[in-house]
Structure 1
Amino acid sequence: MTMQAPETKIVDSYRVACDGGEGALGHPRVWLQIPTDIGWVECPYCGCKYIHKDFEGKV
């Protein structure tokens, strides 16, 4: 069985919300803070990686 790779999203805010994006099959909404020194954060529930637009292509 193969697993799908976690999604990567480019965002323009350093504070983002993640709820898994699958309605009832998602997860509780969590607010994530992207550190300004590394430019990305990963959701602890679904593994989705949020990259700030200023760090696109650098991560």
Structure 2
Amino acid sequence: MTIQPPETKIVDSYRVACDGGEGALGHPRVWLQIPNEHGWVECPYCDCKYVHKDHADKAA
């Protein structure tokens, strides 16, 4: 069984909401704050990585 890598989304806000994106199969909505220091944050439920557009070139 192959595990899919977490999704990475480029966003234009430093505060984002994540709900898993799968409707009833997702997870509770959480609000995440992207720190200015490194420009990204990961969702504690689904590991989706949110990268601010100003830091997109540095995020791996």
TM-score, scaled to structure 1: 0.98
Percentage of matched positions with identical amino acids: 81
**C-alpha displacement at 1:46, in angstroms?**
0.1
The 2-side partners of 1:56 and 1:31 are apart by 20
Unaligned runs of 5+ in 2: none
Runs of 4+ in 1 over 3 A off after TM superposition: none
Unaligned runs of 5+ in 1: none
- Count of aligned pairs: 59
TM-score, scaled to structure 2: 0.96
After superposition, the CA RMSD in angstroms is 0.4
